[in-house]
Structure 1
Amino acid sequence: MTKPYQRIPIATSDDPLVPIPAGLFSLVTPHPYMALGADYGGRSPYFLRRRVLDKLIQAQNFLRAAHPEFQIQIFDAYRPIPVQQFMVDYTFTQLKGDRPLTPPETAQIWEQVLQFWAVPSRDPATPPPHSTGAALDVRLVNRAQEPLPMGGEIDDIGDRSYPDFYAAATTPPEQQYHHNRQLLRQAMEQAGFVIHPNEWWHFSYGDQLWAWQTQRAIAHYGRI
């Protein structure tokens, strides 16, 4: 299942993976996928390409200048292909449950899963965004490290995961969800990130999805 952005060619880059400084950002611990049993092969998920990390620091500084009480929290960043496969399979199993499925039902669930999860492709021309070191999943937290209400959890499968799901909301809680999503989005986008069309929490810089959304001819980062 090839997505439109995966048709964009990728340039070779020697920009290395570097650790996300825990002193600057809030990191979710224990890491949610490791807690489920995902094997990172001894590597940390809290790594990004060096230039992407610079952009993330810029986003954090922008946010803190306007809202010193808030901080960007990193839910997930670098994701090896085996972890992508693990999470795709895990999500399918969670949606399937214990019930037997007909072939059309199985296909429908896979379509639902792959609407939100990238195919764990090992083809260098079609890497999952997180496997490039250029994508990350984030949210906002307050001084007590409590997540701000965003109207849905990271990795939720469903319409409320769309970034603008609450844009036309009329109730105060839902309006607050939209405000918080916009606050996060503004901080990330002014630093050069793009948001995933289906996920309020997913941002990237330099990968194929970024190139496709910004109408670049070539992506900066491939699988690493």
Structure 2
Amino acid sequence: MGTREDVYQLLEEKMLKYADYAEVPVIEVDEVVLFEPVPAQGVLRVEHHPHARSELTGDVIYVRRPVVDMLYAAGQELKNLDRSLTLKVVYGFRPLEDQTRIFEAAKDALRGQYPNEPELTEAAHRNVAVPEVAGYPTGGAVAVEILRDEQPVDMGTAVMQADRDAFTFSPFVSREAWEYRQLLRRAMMAAGFAPFDGEWWHFSYGDKEWARYYRQPGALYDQASFADAQKVDPDADLAL
């Protein structure tokens, strides 16, 4: 049996990389670019992750219109599996401006280790997705966790924590955390989301990760700036 480091490397080798997403096209869809706030009602709880808060979006979690319905479907699926469980949404749309800023900072931190630009881009992508393939700026990606009786459960790491034990299939978390991760993955995939197994909390619909995972001809959504996110459905309920 290999070392713990060997296990992490094996898990990481199985994950899709920037090069896997770079050539995925964005196809035309007959849909107005509308973003909606995720309402904290029924089977969903909503609370913006404090460390991922953007000055542009504030405490409101925006997603593409179809994603709202999919989140409700995932929340209902989780309830069907165990009535005491609730889906909590902690992150959604990240403006392209923010993604670019964060990615460039990640590149700068690694520049001394990777003088070759393609290698630097790929290395930085392992920490922060390259803007043109990133899911959060499309409004199709979300970060979620599970509550049991309205309290957070053990997922092995904190949500959005930079730690290799955040890999969905890390064998170094408790059995309880492992089982909750699989429940979350099952509920989200049943609703049509694609998992990103480098982060147990990250799921997406319509972006390049989703297209590549499900072998679709292309992504449905392109990255959007904050100005695009202002095209919010005027009939949407903004009360969280």
- TM-score normalised by length of structure 1: 0.78
Map of 1:1-224 to 2, 5 A cutoff?
A: 2-13=18-29, 14-15=31-32, 16-24=34-42, 25-29=44-48, 31-34=50-53, 38-40=54-56, 42=57, 45-88=60-103, 103-104=112-113, 113-120=124-131, 126-144=132-150, 146-166=151-171, 174-224=174-224
Residues 200/26 of structure 1: CA separation in 2 closer, same or farther (3 Å cut): same
Give the residue type in structure 2 aligned to 1:179.
E
Give the residue type in structure 1 aligned to 2:23.
R
Give 1:198 shift. 1.0
Give 1:165 shift. 0.7
Aligned 8 A contact 2:49 2:91 in 1: no
Is the partner of 2:55 in helix, strand or coil? coil
Aligned 8 A contact 2:169 2:197 in 1: no
Is the partner of 1:200 in helix, strand or coil? coil
String of CA shifts for 1:10-65, please: whole Å, max 9, x gaps.
1234242112112232122564322xxx321x566511111122111111111112
Q: Identity percentage over the alignment?
A: 25
Residues 53/152 of structure 1: CA separation in 2 closer, same or farther (3 Å cut): same
Greater mean deviation of Cα atoms: 11-20 or 133-142: 11-20
Aligned 8 A contact 2:21 2:133 in 1: no
* Corresponding pairs, count: 203
Residues 44/116 of structure 1: CA separation in 2 closer, same or farther (3 Å cut): same
Unaligned runs of 5+ in 1: 121-125
**Root-mean-square deviation (Å):** 2.8
